[in-house]
Amino acid sequence: MRLAETLWLALSCGSALVNACGGHGQVRKWSQEELDALEEKWGTDWAFSGISTFAHLKHVKCLTTPSELYDIAIIGAPFDTAVSYRPGARFGPRAIRAASARQTSFRGFNPRAGMNPYQNWAKILDCGDIPVVPIDNAVALTQMTTAFRELGARAPVSPLLSKPKLITLGGDHSLALPALRALKEIYGPVRVLHFDAHLDTWHPAKYPSHWASEQTRFNHGSMFWLAGQEGLLLANTTTDPTKSKSSVHAGLRTRLSGDDYADYSDDAAQGWVRIAADEVDDVGTSGVVELIMDTLGTADPVYLSVDIDVLDPAFAPGTGTPEPGGWTTRELIRVLRGIEGLNLVGADVVEVAPAYQGNGEETALAAAQVVYEMLSSMVKRGMGEMGRTGAAGAKSGESGRDEL
């Protein structure tokens, strides 16, 4: 070795940089103080900086990281080949993540709930997307069912939960079927609270075609009919008359098949209560909340499914089957805030198809806010079980911040 090289090595590797001489099996050990200083210096993201995850949450591809535990997982299901009209919801998860950018843990306090879901007892992760196959719906259904089973059966971090909760970013609405299959295995049959312009309890034959097949039965308008057939919904499995109407639609304004109310009769026979979009004008958002809570109660497990087309196309144009005459974003959020007492065991927001809206991101912004309200309700219920309340309702003056 020439003198100059020897000198250089001695100077660099013999100095404070000694452990940075990588490539020879030496890895510098960073002290916690140094790491804290780096975090202090570079660790804060602006709303518009950083890689896009939901609300800047830590991203882990949970399906390939079975050792990673969480209390609530955000999981994308970018699938849209079971739709009956406009495709495009496969781009929903990334649009919702982008629209959630102004949600951060340091400015995440929810004044109505009196707590910050991102600084509380729950470990919340963005688990990435299920890589759903777009060219074979039978495989896609198997993939989604398998993924929800694996993610939903994992041990939670908090002793408050028996299992973690999943919030799915759709994707078209058919993903509710695999989600309910996974929930059945953990909780038994569940109730559903379904916000939508449409019934989605249609018998597959209501999509008439000479070319109908076994596979065409699985679509984004029939998944709740299929769920009932598979015994995933409480009403179809109980003889208790108080639970014969176990699930609720809210925000309906769909046209019906044929020349009568047969679709409604079919729906009622499957155990659903219907709240039309127009009813908000008569009873207000608080009346809608009352109707929902009277049916669902606070004890039974509930799956909350929000089709963004429950909103009027003026507020959410970026969706596959828009129907005029829907709720405003404010009305939907107000109703969601009123139902925080439900025992939510899983949720989704679906049918966000960003290609059909302009640059304003209205649809995805609404969906991101819906997820924030879902998270707030799930975390707040856990606080209640710990004997804590949110800051707004606290009698002892304790804050809603994480002290665990």
Q: Residue positions in the annotated binding site for Mn(2+)?
A: 173, 196, 198, 200, 307, 309
For Mn ion, the closer of residues 114 and 221 by Cβ is: 221
- Which residues are CB-neighbours of 19 under 8 A, at least 6 positions away? 26, 27, 28, 29
User: Minimum CB separation from Mn ion for residue 165, in Å?
Assistant: 21
User: Minimum CB separation from Mn ion for residue 287, in Å?
Assistant: 23
Contact between 69 and 138 under an 8 Å Cβ cutoff? The reply is no
- Which residues are CB-neighbours of 287 under 8 A, at least 6 positions away? 279, 280
Q: What is the DSSP string of 157-226?
A: SSTT-SS-EEEEEES-GGGHHHHHHHHHHHHSSBEEEEE-SS-----GGGS--TT--TGGGSSTTTHHHH
Q: If we measure between CA atoms, which residue out of 304, 396, 382, 348 comes closest to residue 117?
A: 382
Beta-carbon-side half-sphere exposure of residue 366 (alpha carbons within 13 Å): 33
For Mn ion, the closer of residues 132 and 161 by Cβ is: 132
Phi, psi of 251 (to 5 degrees): 95, 15
Looking at this protein, which amino acid is placed at residue 66?
A: P
Kind of pairing between the strands at 191-195 and 124-129: unpaired
Site for Mn ion in 143-202 (CB under 5 A): 173, 196, 200
Token code pair at residue 296: 């669902």
* Number of residues in contact with Mn ion under rule CB under 5 A: 4
For Mn ion, the closer of residues 110 and 270 by Cβ is: 270
User: Minimum CB separation from Mn ion for residue 220, in Å?
Assistant: 6
State the binding site. 173, 196, 198, 200, 307, 309
For Mn ion, the closer of residues 181 and 380 by Cβ is: 181
User: Minimum CB separation from Mn ion for residue 293, in Å?
Assistant: 22
d(CA 112, CA 242): 32
User: Minimum CB separation from Mn ion for residue 215, in Å?
Assistant: 19
Site for Mn ion in 294-333 (CB under 5 A): 307
d(CA 61, CA 96): 18
For Mn ion, the closer of residues 110 and 321 by Cβ is: 321
For Mn ion, the closer of residues 200 and 267 by Cβ is: 200
Q: Decide if residue 348 touches Mn ion (CB under 5 A).
A: no
d(CA 158, CA 324): 43
DSSP state of 45: P
Contact between 68 and 125 under an 8 Å Cβ cutoff? The reply is yes
Site for Mn ion in 197-236 (CB under 5 A): 200
User: Minimum CB separation from Mn ion for residue 309, in Å?
Assistant: 7
User: Minimum CB separation from Mn ion for residue 223, in Å?
Assistant: 8
Looking at this protein, which amino acid is placed at residue 92?
A: G
For Mn ion, the closer of residues 196 and 263 by Cβ is: 196
| Chain residues in the site for Mn ion (CB under 5 A) | 173, 196, 200, 307
